[in-house]
Chain A
Amino acid sequence: RKEVEQDPGPFNVPEGATVAFNCTYSNSASQSFFWYRQDCRKEPKLLMSVYSSGNEDGRFTAQLNRASQYISLLIRDSKLSDSATYLCVVTYSGNTPLVFGKGTRLSVIA
């Protein structure tokens, strides 16, 4: 079975803090990786793709470590509006559906 594991949290951090989440995946055949964000009572929305070389989008940095089979998300200078659940997503080749982790809940506190 293809598994994606995340620490459920919650991570409670003060505004301005840096916080990092890890996500491990069990199947080495994994091809593509994403981070989604889900606000309370809303649908998940794509936050960013994760590329082999790592990628950055403003305060957010995603990294992939294929050897250890994990991806990470780093959020710098946390804002109150970053409070959400962050879902790790792994895909495989062909028409195999994406596999979601159960999510990590982040609360940024004033």
Chain B
Amino acid sequence: DVKVTQSSRYLVKRTGEKVFLECVQDMDHENMFWYRQDPGLGLRLIYFSYDVKMKEKGDIPEGYSVSREKKERFSLILESASTNQTSMYLCASSLYGGNSPLHFGNGTRLTVT
């Protein structure tokens, strides 16, 4: 079974802090994704990556950056956390391109105070 591991289940940070969310997958998947999920808004794609050192903006990249130095690891960075970034963050990976199903981590619930 594919395992996607997110480093923290719950995180509380202060406004203005730099926040790192880490995600690791163990199935040699090419593609990795970061989503946030908010009530009534569904899953929204922040950034994705189809290869090491490669990144593409999703639908809501503002206020975020990513890093993919190794194939198995995809990090989401909040440069200066704000209260409107309080959300559930979900990392996912897939084997191929757009036609492959996603495997999700169990999420990080981030609260910015």
Contacts and interface: CB of A to CB of B under 8 A. Distances in A.
Interface in B64-90: 90
Contacts of B105: 43
A46 B101 CA distance: 7
B76 to A, nearest CB: 15
Interface in B84-113: 90, 97-99, 101-107
A32 B41 CA distance: 23
Contacts of A46: 101-103
B42 A100 contact: yes
Interface stretch (A53-61, A73-81, A85-93): A85-93
Contact of B101 (A34, A95, A96, A101): A34
A96 B98 contact: yes
Interface residues of B, number: 21
A44, A45, A87, A102: residue with the most chain B Cβ atoms closer than 10 Å: A44
Nearest to B58: A97
A98 B102 contact: yes
Main secondary structure of the interface of B (DSSP, over half): loop
A97 B46 CA distance: 11
Nearest to B51: A95
Contacts, number: 53
Nearest to A102: B42
A34 to B, nearest CB: 6
Interface in B5-59: 31, 33, 40-43, 45, 48, 50, 58
B40, B48, B98: residue with the most chain A Cβ atoms closer than 10 Å: B98
A103 B90 contact: no
Contacts of A95: 31, 50, 97-98
Contacts of B90: 43-44
A85 B31 CA distance: 25
Contacts of A31: 98-99
Contacts of A42: 106-107
10 contacts: A43-B104, A46-B101, A46-B103, A89-B101, A96-B97, A97-B58, A97-B98, A100-B43, A102-B40, A102-B42
